[in-house]
Every structure is written in structure tokens, then in C-alpha cells.
Amino acid sequence: MKLSRDPRANGHPDLLTGDINESAIAWTGDQHYRAVFKPRGNPETPLLGIYPMGSPCDHSLVGMFDLAAELLAENDGPAMYQVPFSGFTDHRGMEASGQGFSNAYKFTTAWTVQGTIGLMTPFGIVAGGGCDKTFPMIIHTMGLEPYRYLPWALLHAGHRSVGRLPDGREVTIGDLAMTRIRHLNGHADDAELDLVRRHAVTDVGVCENLASAMSNYVALCCGGFILAGEDLHAANTQGRMALTRQTIALYRTALEKGIVPADTIGPDNFQNFMRAIALFGLSTNLPLHLPWMTHSWGIKHTPTSIWRGMEQMPWISDLQPVGKYPVNHIGSMLPSVIKYLVAENVLNDVTSIFGPKLSELYKSVPDIEFDTQKIFYPVERPMASQPQIVLYRGNLCPDGSWVKESSSMRHSSDYQVQVCATQREFFDDTQNATNLTNRTCYVITGDHSTIELLSANFAIMAAMNNDPELDIALLTDQRTSGFAGARAKAAYHLPRNRLRQLKNGNRVRFAPETRTIDRIDDSGVPLDAEMDALAASYVEPDWPKTGTVKDLINTHLSSANDGSAIY
């Protein structure tokens, strides 16, 4: 298998070593890898295989990459040098702020992928991931020069299963978290907690948040970045291996023909990504990351431009986070759904990362049978004529904030603000969310080191499950997965210079008819001018130094409008 690099890649000797013998560091790294790992295949045409490792969520990738290395090495094919990076450490230890997941993973990418590319001098890259943090960083890095001139393949690790109680009820890790909160508050006994613990999510998968993790997979399949699998249930080892075989077969052709992202990926691919968010009702994390993902490709997106690409799309799938069913219910149907949406001209028939168009990739899969399943609906009879992941504006988020427009968001409501400087303060003030005050908007801010508000989200959902009449709202500047957004009125990653000017007793209005979130006066009039003035006067606090990489990242934090990452 004869490989050569795209000549455009060789124009960057500071980032990509054309000949390992020209660089002492590259030569040493290459020789060390050969001696220690003895990779199969031709080491003179090495490939870089990179994926997160360190979390239980990442275990599925190990077998996939071992198989990929074996398949690539066949018939004097290239050796793949596997370089796992510590996703778990970065996930838990490098958190810089609510927006820190994106920032930390961007740094991780720079230090591992970009640094290792020079050391391994690859002829191509195989990258894996699963969660809503790894794939944005991969797509961003793929667009950089000279990495866009190397053939790429992406592998998705799959999803966790949904557990099932003896009575047939499905339970996820989220249900376990809420049951633990109820147990802590005396609303669930030991037997109930033990029952859920023994039956919830017992296999290895990509992420405990099914909706968020699989949202990236679905959107990237629609964009042509990843091959859609027939069933990515984490326990379905045979299915994941079949997907790996199909992907590597396509990738070997791309390697031989010199097919690179620079010549296949463009605005239409990312337009499909946007449309998928609307069509499938995917996670708000996706439009949040998209400006950063496209930046390296020379494609500028803002929340406004992303919403323009989404707002005419129907909602066709009854999937969480807005719909009824966990994402594992996609099962083997995604290839057929993509085939259908391309044929209906709802998705662009884009060129994939491997070279073939979507219509070619999925031409042999079965047609979707709408009458035999409950998940997907035809575009002429959708779940709703407009998306359920929508952009709200107003004087608290003039450039836009992504929200899940679930049933809780469909009526206008006014709330009185209660500010909580940290997640811990929220729990203290509300007695572990057992004493939530009706018609209150909880504003949780925190400092640069506050991690995702998962506990607060689960606690709010548990409280609203216990009391269906409870009407509360949640606003935060933190970069968080929006579990509570399916039940409470909730908006996340708002501008710090506006949200942090709110005081106890202020009034906030959610108005779905205008899709706005405003601070209002006692007469209900939006305080636009006052909020503009407060935003202009905001000064970021002088946060204490931590002595860690957080300090470096904190100096480069960007807004949610820029994709919640540094450039």
C-alpha cells in the first residue's frame, strides 16, 4: 500500500515533519514507539490513532482501535501508532469554568494531537471519541493547516444502554442520580435506591448522558464526518466491530487516493450538522460549540446564522432531550433515516470525509419503515413543524441563548430572581432542592472553577417530578448540560456581563411568543437600556490563582457566542 503526503501538508515544517530523519525529536519518538509497541504494518508510513482514555466511558474505543490497526496493516498497509490521551483527567481536573470543558479539551488537543503529529509524522489520522467534548475538538483540529491535508477517519464508541427495572420501566444514570438525591432528602428508601442502582446502566459506553453524547454522533453522521452504524449500543461489540470494519475499508481507499478533508468538507457539511440539530431535537451543546468547530475551517458562524440554518426544519424524532425516548432507541435506523432525508432534499447530499457522498454511503441500507416504529416521523407529518432547540434573545442574552423549547417553555411566565453564587449555595439555600420557591428564577453563577451543574440539574428535575405544579426557572452563565431544561424554564451559558449583574428580587420574564428572556420592571417593561449599561460597566473579578493549568485557560475564556472555546 503506497502512501504519499499531500504536498500542501509539507508546506508547514514547523508543524509537520516531512522526514523523521530531519528532526532528532521526531526520529527519537518514532524509534521509541517502534521499539516499545512493535506496531503492525509498515512503520515507514505511520498513521496516528488518537482517542480519549482514562474514563470508563472510553473503554469501547480500545477494541475498535486495536481492530483498526490490524485492518490498516493488512497487505503492507501503514502502521497505526495509538496515542490515547487522558480524557478523564481533563474532564475532572482541567475544568476552567462552566465553559471550561471546551477550553480544556482544546488545550488537550493542541498538546496531544498537534504535538504528536510532529513526533509521529503521520500519513493520516484515525481519531475516536464519543462525548460532546471530544468531537468538537477533533473537528476543530481537523480544520487547521496542515492537518486538513491529511486523510482522517473518525470512530464513535457507542452509547450506554438504558437499564430496565423488573416492572419494565427504563432507567438511565440520570434516574439513578435523581433517586440518590431523593434518597438523600428522605423521599426514597434504601430499597428503592438499591433497586435502581442494580438495574441502571450496567454496561460500558461512551457517556452517562445519552442525549448529549449521541447528539454529536447523529449530527456528524449527517454532516458526512462519521459513518453511521447499524447499532451503536455499547454492549453490542459485534456491531461496533462491524462499523469499524466498514469505516476502515472506506478509509483505506481515502488513504490510497489521497482524499483529505480540505477537498471534501465545506459549508454544506456544517449546514447538515445544523439541520440535524433541528430535525432530531439534539442537545444544545451542539450549536454552542459550532462557531468554534467551524472557525478553523474559515467558516464563520454565530448563534444567529446557526438559527437561520435551523429554523425552517421540522422536528421529526421523538428522542430525548426534548422527546420521549432515550437515544439508544435509534438502534439500527440511523443509516436509513439519513438515506431518507437526503432523498427528500432535507439534508444536503454532501461529500463525506471518505470521498463518497451520503447517497452513495447509504444507498444499500433498508428504507425506513415509519409504520413499524415510534421514533421517526416523515417530514410531511413531523412531530412539530419547527425545531424544539431554539434561540432565545432579550436583554439578558442579546446575541442569543440556546434553549430546549419543551412543554415547560410554551407559556409566558414572570419570576423573581434568587442569586446563588455557587452550586453549593443553591443546595444550601433550597435545602437540597426540597424547598424550591414557586415562581422563582434561580440564578447560579460561580467562579472560574465551577464545574458543570449536573447535580443542580438533576435535583431540579427530581423536585419537579415530585411536584408537577412547581413552576421555577434556572439561568446560569455556566457551560452545562441542560437536563433541567426539559422540565423547568432554563437557559444556560448566558453572557457573564449581564447575568452576573442580576440581584435578588429582580424580575425576569420568559416569553416564548417572542422567544425572549428579559429583566423587567414591576410593570413588566423590559429594562433594555439599564441592562446595556450594566453590561458595559461589568468588570470580571480578580479570581484567586489556583496554581494549575486552569489559570492559563482562564486568561483565554471566550463567550458562548464564540463557541465557548479559545481560538
End position of a domain, from candidates 184, 202, 220: 202
How far is CA 211 from its chain centroid?
9
Rounded Cα distance, 47 and 136, in Å = 21
Rounded Cα distance, 496 and 493, in Å = 8
**One domain, residues 406 and 287:** no
**One domain, residues 174 and 151:** no
CATH number at residue 495: 3.50.30.80
DSSP characters over 59-100:
HHHHHHHHHHHHHHHTTT-EEEEE--EEHHHHHHH---STTH
Rounded Cα distance, 525 and 523, in Å = 6
pLDDT, one tens digit for every residue, the chain (567 residues):
889 889 998 888 767 776 777 777 777 878 888 888 888 999 888 899 988 776 666 778 889 999 999 999 999 999 999 888 764 444 333 333 334 444 444 555 555 565 666 667 789 999 998 777 778 888 988 998 889 999 999 999 887 777 889 998 888 877 888 898 889 888 899 999 999 999 887 666 555 556 777 888 999 999 999 999 988 877 788 989 999 999 999 999 999 999 999 999 999 999 999 999 999 999 888 898 898 889 899 999 999 999 999 999 999 999 888 888 887 788 899 999 999 999 999 999 999 999 999 999 999 999 999 999 999 999 999 999 999 999 999 999 999 999 998 888 888 999 999 999 888 899 999 998 999 999 999 999 876 655 567 788 888 988 988 898 999 999 988 766 666 777 889 998 888 889 999 999 999 999 999 999 999 999 999 999 999 999 999 988 877 777 765 666 666 666 666 665 554
Write down the pLDDT at residue 466.
Answer: 85
**One domain, residues 456 and 554:** yes
Give the three-state DSSP class for 199: helix
Residue 131 counted as domain residue:
yes
**One domain, residues 151 and 245:** yes
**One domain, residues 246 and 172:** no
Residue 370 counted as domain residue:
no
Split into its structural domains, the chain has a count of 3
**One domain, residues 406 and 258:** no
**One domain, residues 533 and 399:** yes
Write down the pLDDT at residue 157.
Answer: 84
Rounded Cα distance, 99 and 280, in Å = 24
**One domain, residues 28 and 177:** no
Domain that residue 178 falls in: 164-202
**One domain, residues 184 and 151:** no
Write down the pLDDT at residue 422.
Answer: 85
Residue 271 counted as domain residue:
no
**One domain, residues 184 and 211:** no
Residue 365 counted as domain residue:
no
Rounded Cα distance, 194 and 257, in Å = 55
**One domain, residues 116 and 248:** yes
Residue 357 counted as domain residue:
no
**One domain, residues 126 and 197:** no
Residue 345 counted as domain residue:
no
Write down the pLDDT at residue 112.
Answer: 59
pTM of the model: 0.91
Residue 349 counted as domain residue:
no
